[in-house]
Amino acid sequence: MKKFLAMLLALAMVFALAACGETAPAQTDTAPTDTTGTPADAAPAANDTPLVVGYDSFNSKFSPFFSETAYDQDVWAMTQISLLGNDRTGAIITKGIAGETVEYNGTPYTYYGPADLTITENDDGTVYYDFVMRDDLVFSDGEPVTIDDAIFSMYVLCDPTYDGNSSLFSVPIEGMEAYRSGMDSLANLIVAAGRDGYEENEFFTEEQYNAFWEDVAQAGAAFAQEIVDYCLANYADYGASDVASSAALWGFEIPADATAADFFDMMYEAYAGDLNDLSSTESAGSSLWSLMNDYDSYTVGVQTGESAPSITGIQKTGDYSMRIVLTEVDATAIYNLGVTVAPLHYYGDASLYDYDNNMFGFTKGDLSSVRAKTTQPVGAGPYKFVKFENGVVYFEANDLYFKGAPKTKYVNFIVCYTDDDKLNGVVTGTIDITDPSFSKDKAAQISSINGNDSINGDVITTSLVDNLGYGYIGMSANVINVDKDPASDASKALRKGLGTIFAVYRAVANDSYYGDAASVINYPISNTSWAAPRPADDGYKVAFSTDVDGNDIYTAGMTDEERYDAALRDALGWFEAAGYTVEDGKLTAAPKGASLEYTAGIPAGGNGDHPAFMILSEAKNALEKIGMTLIIKDYSDTSQIWTDIEAENIGIWTAAWGASLDPDMYQIYFSGDENHVAGGSNYMYDIDDAELNQLILDARASLDQTYRKAMYKACLDIIIDWAVEIPNYQRQNCVIFSTERVNLDTVTPDITTFYGWLSEIENIELN
């Protein structure tokens, strides 16, 4: 739903329950962490009582290639294995066959997986990724797992018509561009032609063209109606009563008598005909394509030019081995190469696989066989999918799992519609494990249930880990600047003045909202990342804690009120450096292009329910004392904030970023150069810094983590200097277990952000 959810939904970990307190991220290309733990020759479990897990709603797209939500992804991940897994710190395990032992918090843990990986950097700049798989793996239906299944899976993800969430095709694999060029999907070609009228061409007929746009029209009306229905159900109190009022809440002004079809037409025009962007950004649940009657017939590839028959950098070297050749060093590649190994015989067509003759399990440009298998996942994972019925996903243990048959024979994922449903389910005995949002109030509620003033007791046991992401306050350099020069020292000083005020109220606001479940962070990166600066590191600084001369604003022993006064005093110094006129401790005039009034947007549901609302409120009061007005725009439709950010209607906003195993900053902060396009989310901040760009590229081009951490620290310092992002909080996610029903001794020990309880699901037993 709009960019607010899209950003958070785009970056999730497989095998991680939904984030608490914010929308959960969806899938990335990170390998599922289901390939670790100690192998065991366990007999099938005798206990037929199912382990019941409370989940949010599923979209029923349980495909390792085409799933769209974190919840659907967790379903198929229960049934699959991937080439690579990771340890509790997020580091990739490269010696899975014999097992790799890594210490965490003083305890050694051995991680096992389906494959070993050797990485070789060559003098010519190329890099070899050599995979060797175990030779005793089988899928849950008894068919053997070979390297052909891995190669098939890679070719699906690299097909020119692939439109799922994986970005394997963006990795600099030798021959990738030649393979993907000269072909596009029929849908993309027709969309590119526009809907203003058919023009004769060699790629599609007038009949195909007309049928496609007729299908889009009905799907578009349904897509828009779904938005309207969502608004009517959730925002009637804010004026949603018909199509026009709902569209207005969604950020589109249409005539009072407009229909859902008219609403879609306006969205089409706003997105200049880019249906992919429209669908992913504006969806209230369903994608536009899923609402078409015959979309799959338009996903077929059309030859538009010359195209290579294979990807030369994907090289089969044996029945259980392959080499992936990269043309250059790419530190993020390893997170894409550890693909899910899906069964060729199920998702593809074994008769169409002949590696030596450039046949890879399907006809290039035709993924229809793969797309058809979205509701019944099959793989070599710890569990077999049985069915999805009446809001419950049913699993049965896979006795052929390479780490041994799971100890619990049956697992059910059951849909819970509210946090109260989740908590009450554990208390009443209908749910064993779930993930309610966590806050001070929730902690008090759990403690009351336990009757011991603790979140751990005889009824509920709680696991808290840092969320893979962080909260922040953002500023647009294009909006908050002096004389239309976002990069000038004056513009940075203006933003630093505002940042100084925002930053000083972070501690009190986060404590009020989260209590011990969140902490203040000082760099725009999740504390879960290996690249995050630590207080003991050289050069570590509290964010926005220095004055215009570089002196520390705060001293030890200051009271909160003294800190607030110091921040306000030194913010005036930054504003003066930006060119503001200061008289008697007040701002009386703004420099050219700047203002004495700014608007801050916050997706707080119209009622201030957001961890940063207190920050903005206190900042508003403080700035008023020195002559600046901060207008707080609390969005009842939390999705609309992204429309206003993109349109530069507001220059300040509060939100949260999701993260992934690797802290690559390209997507958010890279502004583009002659050889690389800008990152997809830099439109928010509008950073344009050549030094930052180069540092990001340098960090990407090395496999040395120590070097990369130094590069990323330099990047973070530049981002802070631009003052477009005030790092706010690192919150915690929670998972609660029924102390009475779950044998806690069998639950994954030392649960972390990167290694959740599902990582060793095969070991969990019920009491």
Could you tell me the CATH number of the domain that includes residue 559?
3.10.105.10
Report the percentage of the chain scoring pLDDT > 70.
94
| Arithmetic mean of pLDDT, 247-269 | 91
pLDDT band at 56 (very low <50, low <70, confident <90, very high): confident
Q: Bridge-partner residues for 600, per DSSP?
A: 632, 652
Point out the domain boundary residue: 335, 360, 384.
Answer: 384
**DSSP-assigned letters across all residues of 163-196:** -SS--GGGS-BTTHHHHHTTEEEHHHHHHHH-SS
Domain check: are 482 and 589 in the same one? yes
The Cα 436–Cα 153 span in angstroms is 35
- Amino acid of residue 612: A
Q: Is the pLDDT assigned to residue 79 strictly greater than 60?
A: yes
| Arithmetic mean of pLDDT, 557-564 | 96
Q: Bridge-partner residues for 387, per DSSP?
A: 394
Torsion-angle region of 26 (φ positive above 0: left; ψ -120 to 50: alpha; else: beta)? beta
Which candidate, 358, 304, 276, 360, places its Cα nearest to that of 181?
304
The residue written with tokens 């006795």 in the block is 399
CB 304 within 8 A of CB 365: no
pLDDT value of residue 749: 96
Which candidate, 84, 92, 62, 82, places its Cα nearest to that of 74?
62
- Per DSSP, the chain holds a count of helices (H) and strands (E) of 23, 26
**Number of neighbouring beta carbons within 10 Å of residue 677:** 10
Domain check: are 635 and 524 in the same one? yes
pLDDT value of residue 4: 30
Q: Is residue 454 part of a domain?
A: no
| Arithmetic mean of pLDDT, 700-716 | 94
| Arithmetic mean of pLDDT, 11-25 | 29
Q: Is residue 47 part of a domain?
A: yes
Domain check: are 8 and 63 in the same one? yes
Tokens of 281: 């950004």
Q: Is the pLDDT assigned to residue 30 strictly greater than 50?
A: no
Over the chain, what is the mean pLDDT?
Answer: 90
Domain check: are 149 and 291 in the same one? no
Supply angle C-alpha 395, 462, 610, rounded to 5: 100
Q: Is residue 681 part of a domain?
A: no
- Render pLDDT for 423-478 as a digit per residue (tens, 0 to 9): 999 999 999 999 998 888 889 999 999 999 899 999 999 999 998 899 999 999 99
Supply angle C-alpha 755, 759, 765, rounded to 5: 130
Domain check: are 489 and 627 in the same one? yes
Domain check: are 132 and 225 in the same one? no
Domain check: are 206 and 171 in the same one? no
pLDDT band at 544 (very low <50, low <70, confident <90, very high): very high
| Domain range for 595 | 469-657+723-731
Domain check: are 504 and 365 in the same one? no
Point out the domain boundary residue: 360, 384, 408.
Answer: 384
| Arithmetic mean of pLDDT, 173-194 | 95
Distances (CA, A) of 345 to 62, 135, 399, 591: 18, 17, 20, 68
- Render pLDDT for 151-176 as a digit per residue (tens, 0 to 9): 999 999 999 999 888 889 989 999 99
Choose between 432 and 238: higher pLDDT. 432
| Arithmetic mean of pLDDT, 97-107 | 95
Backbone angles phi, psi at 580, to 5 degrees: -70, 145
The Cα 730–Cα 518 span in angstroms is 5
Choose between 236 and 212: higher pLDDT. 212
Q: Is the pLDDT assigned to residue 1 strictly greater than 90?
A: no
Sort strands 652-658 and 597-602 into parallel, antiparallel or unpaired.
Answer: parallel
Q: Is the pLDDT assigned to residue 204 strictly greater than 80?
A: yes
Domain check: are 481 and 563 in the same one? yes
Q: Is residue 277 part of a domain?
A: yes
| Arithmetic mean of pLDDT, 347-356 | 97
**Which CATH number belongs to the domain containing residue 28 in this structure?**
3.90.76.10
CB 461 within 8 A of CB 736: yes
| Arithmetic mean of pLDDT, 515-538 | 93
**Number of neighbouring beta carbons within 10 Å of residue 753:** 23
Q: Is the pLDDT assigned to residue 494 strictly greater than 80?
A: yes
How does 497-519 read in b/e, with b if 16+ C-beta sit within 10 Å?
bbbbbbbbbbebbbbebbeebbb
Tokens of 676: 């690389």
Supply angle C-alpha 556, 559, 565, rounded to 5: 100
Q: Is residue 410 part of a domain?
A: no
Domain check: are 609 and 492 in the same one? yes
| Arithmetic mean of pLDDT, 669-684 | 85
3 state SS of 51: strand
**Number of neighbouring beta carbons within 10 Å of residue 302:** 20
Q: Is the pLDDT assigned to residue 17 strictly greater than 80?
A: no
**HEC profile of 511-563:** HHHHHHHEEECCCCCCCCCCCCCCCCCCCCCCCCCECCCCCECCCCCCCHHHH
Point out the domain boundary residue: 384, 413, 443.
Answer: 384
- Amino acid of residue 134: R
Domain check: are 177 and 322 in the same one? yes
Q: Is the pLDDT assigned to residue 10 strictly greater than 90?
A: no
Q: Is residue 295 part of a domain?
A: yes
Domain check: are 146 and 241 in the same one? no
Q: Is residue 217 part of a domain?
A: yes
**DSSP-assigned letters across all residues of 631-692:** EEEE-SSTTHHHHHHHTTS-SEEEEEEE--SS---HHHH----SSSPPPTTHHHH----HHH
Q: Is the pLDDT assigned to residue 11 strictly greater than 90?
A: no
Give how many domains the chain has, as a whole number: 3
Query: What is the dihedral angle through the alpha carbons of 187, 191, 192, 194, rounded to the nearest 10 degrees?
Result: 150
Sort strands 92-93 and 85-86 into parallel, antiparallel or unpaired.
Answer: antiparallel
pLDDT value of residue 162: 92
pLDDT value of residue 709: 94
pLDDT band at 7 (very low <50, low <70, confident <90, very high): very low
**Burial of 187 per CB tally in 10 Å (0-12, 13-18, 19+):** buried
The Cα 320–Cα 730 span in angstroms is 42
Which candidate, 191, 189, 204, places its Cα nearest to that of 276?
191
Q: Is residue 420 part of a domain?
A: no
Which candidate, 487, 498, 482, 506, places its Cα nearest to that of 572?
498
| Arithmetic mean of pLDDT, 745-759 | 95
The Cα 447–Cα 588 span in angstroms is 52
- Render pLDDT for 612-642 as a digit per residue (tens, 0 to 9): 999 999 999 999 999 999 999 998 877 678 8
pLDDT value of residue 47: 67
CB 664 within 8 A of CB 294: no
Q: Is the pLDDT assigned to residue 32 strictly greater than 50?
A: no
- Contacts of 562-566 with CB under 8 Å at 24 or more apart are 563/504, 564/504, 564/505, 564/618, 564/622
The Cα 754–Cα 365 span in angstroms is 35
CB 482 within 8 A of CB 490: yes
pLDDT value of residue 284: 83
- Render pLDDT for 282-326 as a digit per residue (tens, 0 to 9): 888 788 998 999 998 999 999 999 999 999 999 999 999 999 999
Q: Bridge-partner residues for 552, per DSSP?
A: 546
